Chains A and B, each alone.
Chain A
Amino acid sequence: MSALLEVRGISKTFDGFKAINNLSFSIGAAELRAVIGPNGAGKTTFMDIVTGKTRPDEGEVLWAEGSKSLLRMNEAQIAREGIGRKFQRPTVFEDQTVAENLTMALKAERGPLAVLRWRPSPDSEARVAELAAEVGLSDHIERKAGELSHGQKQWLEIGMLLASDPRLLLVDEPAAGMTLAEREQTTTLLCRLAETRAVVVVEHDMDFVRRLNCRVTVLHQGSVLAEGSLDHVTRNPDVIEVYLGR
C-alpha cells in the first residue's frame, strides 16, 4: 500500500529549541493512527507542519499520488488538497447558525468569486440536514453555534469536518472534556471514518488510545521513539523510560 502522506526527515527549531528533530512518518490511504508522547514531544508542531501553519527548516512532506510537496503550499491550499484538522478546543463560528457553519464547510469551490456566485441548492440543503442529523444537531440547525453546549460544539465541528470530506483527518485530543459515553461515541466515529480515509489522532489518554485499537506512534523530543501496536510500544523499554514509567 502506498502512503497517502509521507513525512521525511523534517526538523524545526524554535529559538534554539529543537521542536522536531529529523522526524519521519507515513500513513496509508485508509488507516487509523494514534500519535502519543509527553508534553513538548512535538505533536502539535508536527500537525502544524503538515497543515502548513509552520514551515520546517529541512525535510520533505509529500502528499498523495504523484508525491506533491506540501511545503510550498499555504494552509488554505493544503486544506483544499483534502487535509482536515480538528483542534483541541472546539472552534466553530459562534455568531453563525449551525446551518451556516455546515454550509461553509461543504465541499465547493473556495475562491471569492465562486463563493459570491454560490446559491443554496436542494442538494446542499439536504446535505446540511443529513450532516446535522449525523452529529445529532437536527433540532438546532437554525440556532447560533454560540448557544450550543461544549459537547454540541465538538459535534458541530466534527460535522464540519465530515462536510468537507477530507482524505486525511488530523484530530487533536478528541476525548478532552468528554464524558465516558461521549468518548465511546467518538471512538466509534473515528474508527468508522478510518475505513475510508486516513485519520491521525493525537492523544494523551492511554485508555482512549487502547480503545482505538490501532497502530501507535510514540514521539519524544521531536522524533519517533517507537511505532507499532499499543502493546508493542508499551513493552518498549525506551517508551517506559520516557513516558509511561513516570
Chain B
Amino acid sequence: MTRTPFVLRHPSVLVVLTVLAVFTAAVTAGSAAYGSGAIPVSMIKLLGKTLCLALAAVAMDLVWGYLGILSLGQMAFFGLGGYMIGQWLMYARTETIVAAQLAQQPIPATAQELQDAVTNQIFGVVGSSELPLVWSFAHSLTAQLILVLAVPGLLALVFGWLAFRSRVNGVYLSILTQAMTLALALWLFQNDSGFRGNNGLSGLQNIPGLDHVGQATLSVWFLWASALALALGYALAAWLVSGKFGSVVRAIRDDETRVRFLGYPVEGFKLAVFTIAAMMTAVAGALYYPQAGIINPAELMPIASIYLAVWVAIGGRGRLYGAVIGAVIVSLLSSWFTGGRAPSIHLPGYVVNWVDWWQVALGLTFVLVTLFAPKGIAGLFDRLSGILPPRRHGRDLGPDQGALQEKEATA
C-alpha cells in the first residue's frame, strides 16, 4: 500500500513552509548585505527574532493547544537556551580580546593567566574572580550547543515527571509552571548563581571568529538560521500531531481518564511532548539572543510566558499555523506600538499615547478573542475551508425518547 506523502495529507505545512521561504527570500533581497538595502539591519534583526518567537509559539501550541497543558513557564526554556549559547559567545569573545591584550606583554601569558584574566573580565561586575562551575564548558561551542538542548530538556523532563506523576492538572499545573520560571528567574538574579546576576550576558551579537563579517551580513545569516529552525520545528510539530500519536495527544487533552482506560501511559505521552516542546523552545532562544545581543533574568519572568500564551490564543490554539500567525502579528504590532512610532490618537481633552495604551489594547483583545473567537485567527481559515465544530449540544432525553437528543427529537 502506498501512502499519500506527508505534505499532501497536510497541505497547511506546505503553505506555511512556502510562505516562510518567500518571506526569507524577500527580506534577503531587501537587505544591505545581499540586496537593495531597503531594509535596515535593525529591522532584519527584528524579523529574525520574530521567527524565533514564532518557533516558541509553535512549541507552546504543542503543549497547550494539543496536549492541553497551559504552561505559563515556557519562556524559561527559551531563556535557558539563550543563556547556554550566551555563555560560549561571551567567554569565547572575551578570550579573544583578552588574549590580544596579553600578547602586548613582554612575557607570554600562561593558559591559567589567560583564564584568570577572562574570568576577571566577565565576573568583575559581580565582584567575583573565580570561574563558576556552571561555566566549565563555556570554552567549547560543541558542549554549549549540546547544553542548549540538554539543560532545558532535562529540566522539562524532571519537572514534568514530578508534576504529571502526581497528576497535577489544570490551573494547578499552570501555577506550578509559573512558579518554575519565577524560581529560575529569581535564582539567576542572584550574583552568586554564576550567571552575572541582573547584568545578564551581553555583547552576544558579536560572534567570536566572525569579527570580519559585519552585523549587516550576520543579521541575514541569523534570519536564515531562524527561518530554517522554524521550518524544521514546524515540520516536526506537524508530524508529531498527525497520525495516531497526535490522535492520542488530543485525546489526552479532551479526556485524560478515558485515555488511561484505553491502556495508554498518559504520563509518558505528556512527558514526551512537554520535553520536545521545551527543547524546541530552547533552540528558538539560542537563536533569538545572539540577535537581541543581551539576555538577563528578567526575560525569564512569568510575564514573558504569559505573553506567549496570549499570542497563541490570539493566533488560534490547536492550529500550528495559528500559533505562527499569532506570534508574528502580535509581537510585530507590540514592537510597533511600544516603539513610539505609532501615531497617537488625539481625543478632545486626552491624547491616547500607544506606548501607554498598547498593553490595555492587547489585554482587551485577549479577553475579546477568548470570549467571542476561541479559535483565534486560525478560526477564520477553518471557516474558509468549511471545518465547523459540531453543534450538537443538548442533553439526551432519557429512556422515553431513547437515544435521541433534544435537538433531533424536535426536528
User: A-side interface residues toward B, CB under 8 Å?
Assistant: 51, 53, 74-77, 79-80, 84-85, 87, 91, 93-96, 100, 103-105, 110-112, 115-116, 118-122, 144, 146-147, 149-152, 154, 160, 164, 176-180, 182
- A51, A91, A118: the one contacting B255 at CB < 8 Å is A91
Task: Please state if B403 and A112 are interface contacts (CB–CB under 8 Å).
Answer: no
- 16 more contacts with CB within 8 A, not counting A93-B255, A116-B243, are A79-B261, A93-B247, A95-B254, A100-B247, A104-B247, A110-B262, A116-B245, A121-B1, A122-B1, A146-B390, A149-B404, A151-B402, A152-B403, A164-B262, A177-B403, A182-B403
Whether A149 lies near B408 (C-beta < 8 A) is yes
Known interface pairs A79-B263, A104-B244, A115-B245; A177-B250 also in contact (CB < 8 Å): no
- The residue from B245, B247, B266, B392 contacting A76, defined by CB atoms under 8 A apart: B266
The 4 A-B residue pairs whose C-beta atoms are closest, nearest first, are: A151-B403, A179-B402, A79-B263, A146-B390
- Answer whether residue B260 sits at the interface, using C-beta atoms and an 8 A cutoff: yes
State A238–B243 Cα separation when bound (angstroms): 55
Q: Identify the closest chain B residue to A74 (Cβ).
A: B260
Q: A110-B265, A112-B272, A149-B408 are in contact. Are A104 and B390 (CB under 8 A)?
A: no
Interchain CB contact under 8 A, A96 and B262 = no
Query: Is B214 in contact with chain A by the CB < 8 A criterion?
Result: no
Q: Answer yes or no: B130 CB below 8 A from chain A CBs.
A: no
Contact of B261 among A51, A103, A152, A182 (CB under 8 A): A51
**Does A95 contact B262, Cβ atoms closer than 8 Å?**
no
| With known contacts A96-B251, A111-B265, A75–B244 Cβ distance under 8 A | no
Q: Across the interface, which residues of A come within 8 angstroms of B243, CB to CB?
A: 116, 118-119
Within 8 Å CB of A115, what residues of B? 244-245, 248, 264, 269
* Contact, CB under 8 Å: B268 / A111: yes
| B interface with A by C-beta (< 8 Å) | 1, 3, 240, 243-245, 247-248, 250-251, 254-255, 257-258, 260-266, 268-269, 272, 389-390, 392, 396-399, 401-405, 408
Query: How far does the alpha carbon of A110 sit from the alpha carbon of B402 in the complex, in Å?
Result: 35
Which B residues touch A179, using CB under 8 A?
Answer: 399, 401-403
> How far is it, in angstroms, between the C-alpha of A158 and the C-alpha of B243 when the chains are bound?
23
Interchain CB contact under 8 A, A149 and B403:
yes
| B265–A79 touching, CB < 8 Å | no
- Supposing A96-B250, A118-B244, A177-B398 touch, asked if A150 and B265 sit within 8 A by C-beta, the answer is no
Inter-subunit contact A144/B390 (CB<8 Å): yes
Question: Across the interface, which residues of A come within 8 angstroms of B244, CB to CB?
Answer: 103-104, 115, 118
Bound: A110/B95 CA distance, A: 51
Residues of the B chain whose Cβ atoms lie less than 8 Å from the Cβ of A160: 262
| Closest B residue to A83 using CB positions | B261
Partner of A164, one of B257, B263, B408: B263
Whether A76 and B398, one on each chain, are in contact in the complex, defined by CB atoms closer than 8 angstroms, is no
A96-B251, A104-B247 known; A182+B263 contact, CB < 8 A: no
A85 touches B1 (CB 8 A): no
Chain A residues with CB under 8 Å of B248's CB are 104, 115
Residues of B within 8 A of A105 (CB): 262
Report yes or no: A95 in contact with B250, Cβ–Cβ below 8 A: yes
Q: In the complex the two chains form, is B390's CB within 8 Å of A94's CB?
A: yes
Give the docked Cα–Cα distance between A12 and B3 (Å): 52
- Find chain A residues with CB under 8 A from B245 CB: 112, 115-116, 118
Complexed CA–CA distance, A56 and B125 (Å) = 60
> Would you call B272 and A110 a contact (CB within 8 A)?
no
Known contacts A93-B255, A178-B402, A112 near B1 by CB under 8 Å = no
Complex CA gap A151/B405 in Å reads 9
A239–B301 Cα distance when bound, in Å, is 64
Bound-state Cα–Cα, A154 to B263, Å:
20
A154 to chain B, nearest CB (A): 7
Of all chain A residues, which has the CB nearest B165?
A74
Residues of B within 8 A of A144 (CB): 390
Contacts A/B (CB < 8 Å), 20 sampled: A76-B260, A76-B263, A80-B263, A91-B255, A93-B255, A104-B251, A104-B264, A112-B245, A112-B269, A115-B264, A118-B245, A119-B243, A120-B3, A146-B390, A149-B403, A149-B405, A151-B404, A179-B401, A179-B403, A182-B403
The CA of A85 and the CA of B258, in the complex, are separated in Å by 9
**Cβ–Cβ contact A147 & B265, under 8 A:** no
Look across to chain A and name the residue whose beta carbon is closest to the beta carbon of B269.
A112
Which residue, of B1, B261, B266, B397, has the highest number of chain A Cβ atoms within 10 A? B261
Decide: A75 near B402, CB < 8 A? Known: A93-B255, A115-B248: no
A112 in contact with B262 given A104-B244, A149-B405 (CB within 8 Å): no
A118 (CB) vs chain B CBs: closest residue: B244
Query: Would A178 and B403 be within 8 Å (CB), given that A93-B255, A149-B408 are in contact?
Result: yes
CB of A79 within 8 A of CB of B260, answer yes
Residues of chain A contacted by B261 (CB below 8 angstroms): 51, 75, 79, 84-85
Q: Which interface residue of B1, B272, B392, B401 has the most chain A CB atoms within 10 A?
A: B392
Docked-complex contact B396 and A177, CB < 8 angstroms: yes
| Complex CA–CA separation, A120 to B1 (angstroms) | 10
| Cα–Cα distance between A103 and B248 once the two chains are bound (Å) | 10
User: Which residues on B sit within 8 Å (CB–CB) of A75?
Assistant: 257, 260-261
Q: Min CB distance, B257 to chain A, in Å?
A: 8
Say yes or no: A112-B405 contact (C-beta < 8 A), given A91-B258, A93-B251: no
B271 to A: closest C-beta gap in Å: 8
In the complex the two chains form, is A154's CB within 8 Å of B390's CB? Answer: no
